[in-house]
Structure 1
Amino acid sequence: MPERLSEALLDLWTPLIILWITLPACVDTAPTTPSQVLTSGSRLELNRLSEEQRILNRSKRGWVWNQMFVLEEFSGPEPILVGRLHTDLDPGSKKIKYILSGDGAGTIFQINDITGDIHAIKRLDREEKAEYTLTAQAVDFETNKPLEPPSEFIIKVQDINDNAPEFLNGPYHATVPEMSILGTSVTNVTATDADDPVYGNSAKLVYSILEGQPYFSIEPETAIIKTALPNMDREAKEEYLVVIQAKDMGGHSGGLSGTTTLTVTLTDVNDNPPKFAQSLYHFSVPEDVVLGTAIGRVKANDQDIGENAQSSYDIIDGDGTALFEITSDAQAQDGIIRLRKPLDFETKKSYTLKVEAANVHVDPRFSGRGPFKDTATVKIVVEDADEPPVFSSPTYLLEVHENAALNSVIGQVTARDPDITSSPIRFSIDRHTDLERQFNINADDGKITLATPLDRELSVWHNITIIATEIRNHSQISRVPVAIKVLDVNDNAPEFASEYEAFLCENGKPGQVIQTVSAMDKDDPKNGHYFLYSLLPEMVNNPNFTIKKNEDNSLSILAKHNGFNRQKQEVYLLPIVISDSGNPPLSSTSTLTIRVCGCSSDGVVQSCNVEAYVLPIGLSMGALIAILACIILLLVIVVLFVTLRRHKNEPLIIKDDEDVRENIIRYDDEGGGEEDTEAFDIATLQNPDGINGFLPHEDLLRESN
C-alpha cells in the first residue's frame, strides 16, 4: 500500500518546472510589463494560442523562449520586476527555493528565492551593456537538492531614446569654387546616435540647416550639403557659416537633436580682369641714369587672388619702345619700367608709352565677359645732367713710320661737351698706358706727337688711353683707347737665318751641293722678302766653290772640283753678300765656314780632324815617340822665333818696298762706324794658298750697297 501511494504521488508531481514570463511586444506601443512569468511549459502554451491571439500577435515581436526584457534607465522608488521563475513542482508549500546565477546576479538582478520574482535593483544603461546571461534553478528548500536541471536565459535591456545625436568630427570646413552652378556639392557630414538602431526610431536621424540659408541646402537623409544659390561671388563674400542639426525619432517631435557648424570658403576663380589704379603715370629720369635702372612702377589691381591675379606687363605703343622695357614683379604684382638704351636730353626731352596688363591664367568660362586686360599711358620726362665729354670716335687707330722724326704729329683725337652749356675740353695721356713716355698730346687740340724714337722690330703696336676732362667740372672725364701701329721702313740688312757650318768630303764630286743656306730680314716689306746672293768681287772667280740661287729664296754652295785634302787645308771661309729688295736696298756679308772631312764611300761624314798618314809597317813604338818629341821641339822653336820677330816689329813677309799692309775699306751708308770695316792683308792675298780660298781667320767684310 505505501508503495502504490508513492507511485501515485510521483505521477501527480511529475510536471516540468514551468517558468511563466509574459514577454513584451516588439512594437513601439507595447511596453514591457512586470508580470512576466517563465515556465517550463511555455512552449506548449504557445502552441495552444487561439487563432485570434495569433492574428493579434502578427504585429508584435514573436515569443522567445529564453529571453526577458527590462527597460533601461528605469528609476522608480522600488526595484523593477523583471520576471518570475515558477515550477509546477511547487504546490505552494514553500518547500522549493529558486537560485539565480550569472551576469549581474546578486548585484544588478535579485531573485526572491521563495516566489521566484526577479527584480532589477540598479538603473540599467543599454549603451553600457545590452544583455545579461543568467542561469535559473529550483532546489529543495531543506536539502538544496536540484529538483530539475538548471535553465539558462537572457535578460535584454530594452532601449529608450535617451541619447542625442552627436557630430563626432565637427566642426567642419569645406571649400567650393565661386561662381559654381546651383546644386554644386560642397561636402557631407555624419552624426551618430548611441541608441539602438534596430529598435524603434530612436537612432533614425534627419538632417536640416538651422543657419546658412538661402545659400546652402542639405539632403535630410544623406546630409549632403549643396549650393542653393548660383554664382556666389568670392569678392562679395568669401566665407559662410552653416549650422546643421541632426534629429532622431525620424525628425518627429519629442526626438533628441544635436548640432554642428560647417564653415564654407569660396575658392577663387579668375573672373575679374586687371585694372590699372590710374590711367596716366608720370615719371622723370636724369639723362645719365645707368642702363637697367628702374624708372618707375605701374600696378594693375586684380580682385582675384593667387595665380588668378598674376598679370604680365608689356609696352605696346609709344615713341620710347626702343629705349624702355617693362618687366613683371611676381611678388608685388606690378610692372617695372627700366632703361634699355642711353638717354640724351639734348636730343629728346620726353617720351610717351602705352603699357598693357593682361592676366597670365585666363579661365575660358569667363572669356565671354571681355578681354582680361587693361591699358594705361606712361609719360617719361628726361632731365638734363652734366655729362662727360664725348669723343668723336669710340676708338682711334693711328699709323706712324718707325723712322718718324721726334715731335712729329702722329694723329689727333677730338671730343666735345654734349651739354647745352658746352665746356672747353683738355686732353691728357693716361701714363699708366705709356710708361716709357713715348708719346705726347696737345692739351688743347688733342694732337698726338712722337716723344721718343720708335722701332718696329721691338714693338709693332702701342696702345695708349687718352683722357678728356671738362675744364669747368674736372669730375666729368671720358677715356678713349688709341692704337698706334708702327709702320716698317727698310733699316735692317739681311743676314744668315742661322749660324751655318758646312762639311766637305775629301772624296766629294765636282758640282756636289755642300750646303744650302737661307737668309732672314728683321724688316717686314709689304711684298715679302726677296734676297740677292753674290760673292765678294775678289772671290767671283773662286777656284774651289760656286753659288746657285734657288727658287725658294735660298742659296746652294757647290764644290767646283774634287780632291780636297785635309792635310793641305782643313777649313775654308766663303764670304757671301746678301742684299734685300728694299728702297734703298741694304746688304751685308755673312761668312760660311766649310770644313773638309773624311767621309765614307756613300758620303757620310766620319771625321773632320787632321789625321796622320798611315805609318810604315814595322815602325817601333820608340821610333814613334822620338818623332813626336822632334815635332814638339820644332813647335817650340817656331813659337820662340815668332815671338822674337814681333818684339822687333818686323813684318813676317816683305817682298819689296811697295809690298806693305794696305787696307781695302768699304763704307756702309747706314753703317755703324769702325765696326763695319774689315781689312784684307795684301800679303795674305798674295799667298799662293789664297787662290784656293781664305785661310782660317776672323776677317769679315760687311758690305752695304
Structure 2
Amino acid sequence: MSVSEAAVPGEEVGRVKAKDPDIGENGLVTYNIVDGDGMELFEITTDYETQEGVVKLKKPVDFETKRAYSLKVEAANVHIDPKFISNGPFKDTVTVKIAVEDADEPPMFLAPSYIHEVQENAAAGTVVGRVHAKDPDAANSPIRYTIDRHTDLDRFFSINPEDGFIKTTKPLDREETAWLNISVFAAEIHNHHQEAKVPVAIRVLDVNDNAPKFAAPYEGFICESDQTKPLSNQPLVTISADDKDDTANGPRFIFSLPPEIIHNPNFTVRDNRDNTAGVYARRGGFSRQKQDLYLLPIVISDGGIPPMSSTNTLTIKVCGCDVHGGLLSCNAEAYILNAGLSTGALIAILACIIILLVIVVLFVTLRRQKKEPLIVFEEEDVRENIITYDDEGGGEEDTEAFDIATLQNPDGINGFIPRKDIKPEYQYMPRPGLRPAPNSVDVDDFINTRIQEADNDPTAPPYDSIQIYGYEGRGSVAGSLSSLESATTDSDLDYDYLQNWGPRFKKLADLYGSKDTFDDDS
C-alpha cells in the first residue's frame, strides 16, 4: 500500500481480505491492527458487505520524516461453532507495508508567529528582524518572501525577498502607533501556488522625544488687598504636567521658574515632588488699577535620558473679592465704572445710543426714497408720436409697411385693413334746390359717410388725425396735405378738380387754381 503525505485524516489507504474455507467468502470476519510502527497513524475497519478490511489514515504523515510503515493485521471469525472450538484458533495475521509518497507541499515557517522591536525615529533602512521558512519537500526549492500590503498600507516596512530580513522605510512614531502588525508570505520560486503566511508583530520602542506640558489650561486668581494684610499659605493654583512619552522616560516631573526670574518678587513655585506643584504669592497689595493680569512662565522637566523640558505660561488675574475671599469681579474696567456710574446709568446711556442710531437710519432711508428719477420710463409714457415716427417705413407712400391700427387694437393684428383714401365715386345725388355741376359730387354726404364708417370701424384708431395721416400720400387721389413741399417750385399738385365741387369750394378753387391760370394772373 501507499499513502501520499498530502492525504488528510480519514482518507482510505487500502484494503485487505481474508477467506474462510469452511463458510466461504461470505463468512463474517473482523479485522484489527495488533502490532506495527504505524498503529498511531493508521486504523482498520470491516466492510461487512465485501468482508474486507479498510485501512484508513488517522494522522497526517510526512515523507521527509518517515517514508514507510509496517502494520500487523489480524483477521478472525465472528461466529465459532462450539463443536469445532478445539480445532482453533480461528484467526490469522498478515503484515501490511505502507509506503509514504512525496508530495509538493507549501513552505513552512520555523515559528508560528514573530515579534520584533524597533526604536521610534529610527532611520529608514533599520533592520527590524527576520522571518525564516523552508521547503519541506526533498527538492528543497528556494523561497521568496513578500509582505502582504493589505496589512502595511502606509508601507512602513520592506523585506528582502531572498533572506527574509525586514527593514523600515521611514521613521516611526510611538506616540502615533505603538504596535504594527503585518503578514509575510513565503512561496516557492518554481511554484508560486505553494505559499505560506505568517503574522509578524513589531513593537515601536519609546524614545524621550516629547517635552512635558501643562495637563490642562490652568489659570490663577488672586484677591487685591493692601500691604498690611497677611499672605495666605494656600496656593493660588495647583498645576500638574502630561508627557506623551512612556513612563520610563518621565518617572517624575520637576517644576521651577526660569533662571532669569528665579527671584520673582510677585510669585513663586513650590514643587510637591508628586508630579504636581503649587503657585504662591510672595507679597500682598495687588491692585487691579495698577495691573490686573500677570503672566508667569514655568519650566517643566521630565526624568528621561536625555531630559526634555518646556516653558509653559500661567495666567494669574487680580480680582475683587468679598470679606470671605469669594471672587466678585476680575476686570479693571468694571472696577472703575462701578466707582463712578451705576448700572442704571449705564443702561440709560446705552438706550440713548440705540435710539440715536435708529433715528439716523430712518433719516437716511427717507432721503433715499425722495430721490426719485426724473426720467419717465418708456412704458409709463402715454405719448405715441415718437413711437409713430420711429417705426415709419420708406416714406409717405409706404403706408402698408406698418399699420398703426395694430398698436391701438389687438383685433387688428390678424386682419388686413384696406386703404380708405380712394377717390369718391359720383354716385351721390345733389341736394334739392341746387343744380348739379358736371361730374359733381356731394362732398358733405361723402365726408359724413366716411366719418360714420370710421366711427363704427373697431380696427380704426381712436382719433381721425392719425387715420388721415396714416393713409394719405402720393398714391391717393387727394394727394399729400403736407406743407413740407409747398415752398418748392417743382410741386406737381393739381387742384383743378375743386372747380367741380360746387359753389361752396369756389374760394378754395380760386386760391388753388391751375398753374396756368396762376401764371396768367401774375
Sort the TM-score into its range (normalised by shorter chain).
Answer: 0.5 to 0.7
Deviation for aligned residue 1:348? 0.3
Distance 1:587 1:617 in 2: 48
1:588 counterpart = 2:301: no
Moved more, 391-400 or 617-626: 617-626
State which of 415, 431, 441 in structure 1 corresponds to 2:159: 441
Moved more, 321-330 or 377-386: 321-330
Structure 1 pair 499/472, CA: closer, same or farther in 2 (3 Å)? same
State which of 401, 405, 409 in structure 1 corresponds to 2:119: 401
Equivalent pair of 2:234/2:280 in contact (CA under 8 Å): yes
Structure 1 pair 430/374, CA: closer, same or farther in 2 (3 Å)? farther
State which of 328, 342, 346 in structure 1 corresponds to 2:64: 346
Distance 1:324 1:562 in 2: 95
Counterpart secondary structure, 1:513:
coil
Q: How many residues align?
A: 339
State which of 180, 185, 190 in structure 2 corresponds to 1:472: 190
Q: Percent identity?
A: 55
Corresponding residue for 1:413? 131
Structure 1 pair 541/372, CA: closer, same or farther in 2 (3 Å)? farther
Offset from partner CA, 1:18-61 (integer Å, 9 cap, x none): xxxxxxxxxxxxxxxxxxxxxxxxxxxxxxxxxxxxxxxxxxxx
Corresponding residue for 2:260? 538
- The amino acid that maps onto 1:513 is P
Structure 1 pair 384/547, CA: closer, same or farther in 2 (3 Å)? same
Distance 1:342 1:524 in 2: 48
State which of 1, 4, 7 in structure 2 corresponds to 1:289: 7
Structure 1 pair 619/600, CA: closer, same or farther in 2 (3 Å)? closer
Equivalent pair of 1:511/1:560 in contact (CA under 8 Å): no
- The amino acid that maps onto 1:381 is A
Counterpart secondary structure, 1:578:
strand
Structure 1 pair 616/527, CA: closer, same or farther in 2 (3 Å)? closer
Deviation for aligned residue 1:429? 1.5
Counterpart secondary structure, 1:436:
coil
Q: Which has the higher contact order (CA 8 A, sep 6+)?
A: 2
Corresponding residue for 2:239? 517
- The amino acid that maps onto 2:315 is T
- List runs of 5+ in structure 1 lacking aligned partners: 1-281, 304-308, 630-705
Distance 1:427 1:299 in 2: 50
Counterpart secondary structure, 1:530:
coil
The 5-angstrom pairing of residues 544-693 of structure 1 reads 544-610=266-332, 611-612=334-335
State which of 100, 115, 136 in structure 2 corresponds to 1:382: 100
Distance 2:325 2:33 in 1: 87
The 5-angstrom pairing of residues 6-21 of structure 1 reads none
Structure 1 pair 567/336, CA: closer, same or farther in 2 (3 Å)? farther
Corresponding residue for 1:177? none
Equivalent pair of 2:288/2:318 in contact (CA under 8 Å): yes
Distance 1:453 1:618 in 2: 64
* Cα RMSD after superposing both structures: 4.5
1:501 counterpart = 2:219: yes
Corresponding residue for 2:498? none
Distance 1:595 1:327 in 2: 93
State which of 154, 179, 182 in structure 2 corresponds to 1:461: 179
Deviation for aligned residue 1:575? 1.1
Moved more, 461-470 or 605-614: 605-614
State which of 422, 425, 449 in structure 1 corresponds to 2:140: 422
Offset from partner CA, 1:82-140 (integer Å, 9 cap, x none): xxxxxxxxxxxxxxxxxxxxxxxxxxxxxxxxxxxxxxxxxxxxxxxxxxxxxxxxxxx
Deviation for aligned residue 1:501? 2.2
Deviation for aligned residue 1:349? 0.7
Counterpart secondary structure, 2:335:
coil
Offset from partner CA, 1:303-324 (integer Å, 9 cap, x none): 9xxxxx998x876643234444
Distance 2:156 2:235 in 1: 50
- The amino acid that maps onto 1:446 is G
Offset from partner CA, 1:248-292 (integer Å, 9 cap, x none): xxxxxxxxxxxxxxxxxxxxxxxxxxxxxxxxxx4x221122355
Equivalent pair of 2:33/2:71 in contact (CA under 8 Å): yes
Deviation for aligned residue 1:345? 0.6
Equivalent pair of 1:510/1:560 in contact (CA under 8 Å): no
Equivalent pair of 2:146/2:161 in contact (CA under 8 Å): yes
Structure 1 pair 407/358, CA: closer, same or farther in 2 (3 Å)? farther
- The amino acid that maps onto 1:401 is Q
Distance 1:570 1:330 in 2: 105
Equivalent pair of 1:505/1:597 in contact (CA under 8 Å): yes
Distance 1:528 1:414 in 2: 38
Corresponding residue for 2:461? none
Deviation for aligned residue 1:412? 2.0
Structure 1 pair 336/538, CA: closer, same or farther in 2 (3 Å)? farther
Counterpart secondary structure, 2:7:
coil
Offset from partner CA, 1:348-378 (integer Å, 9 cap, x none): 0122345679999x9xx99x99999997755
Distance 2:89 2:250 in 1: 73
Structure 1 pair 458/614, CA: closer, same or farther in 2 (3 Å)? closer
Q: Choose 1 or 2 for highest CA Rg.
A: 1
Corresponding residue for 1:132? none
More helix by share: 2
The 5-angstrom pairing of residues 224-239 of structure 1 reads none
Offset from partner CA, 1:561-620 (integer Å, 9 cap, x none): 344333433322211111122222211111122233344555544543443369689989
Structure 1 pair 565/517, CA: closer, same or farther in 2 (3 Å)? same
- The amino acid that maps onto 1:578 is I
Distance 2:137 2:150 in 1: 29
Structure 1 pair 333/521, CA: closer, same or farther in 2 (3 Å)? farther
Equivalent pair of 1:510/1:562 in contact (CA under 8 Å): no
Equivalent pair of 2:109/2:131 in contact (CA under 8 Å): yes
Deviation for aligned residue 1:339? 4.3
Equivalent pair of 1:511/1:561 in contact (CA under 8 Å): no
Equivalent pair of 1:389/1:477 in contact (CA under 8 Å): yes
Deviation for aligned residue 1:394? 2.2
Equivalent pair of 1:490/1:525 in contact (CA under 8 Å): no
Equivalent pair of 1:396/1:483 in contact (CA under 8 Å): yes
- List runs of 5+ in structure 2 lacking aligned partners: 23-27, 353-522
Structure 1 pair 324/483, CA: closer, same or farther in 2 (3 Å)? farther
Deviation for aligned residue 1:480? 1.8
Distance 1:450 1:289 in 2: 41
Structure 1 pair 466/359, CA: closer, same or farther in 2 (3 Å)? farther
Equivalent pair of 1:389/1:417 in contact (CA under 8 Å): yes
Deviation for aligned residue 1:548? 1.6
- The amino acid that maps onto 1:412 is R
1:431 counterpart = 2:149: yes
More strand by share: 1
Deviation for aligned residue 1:623? 10
Deviation for aligned residue 1:385? 0.7
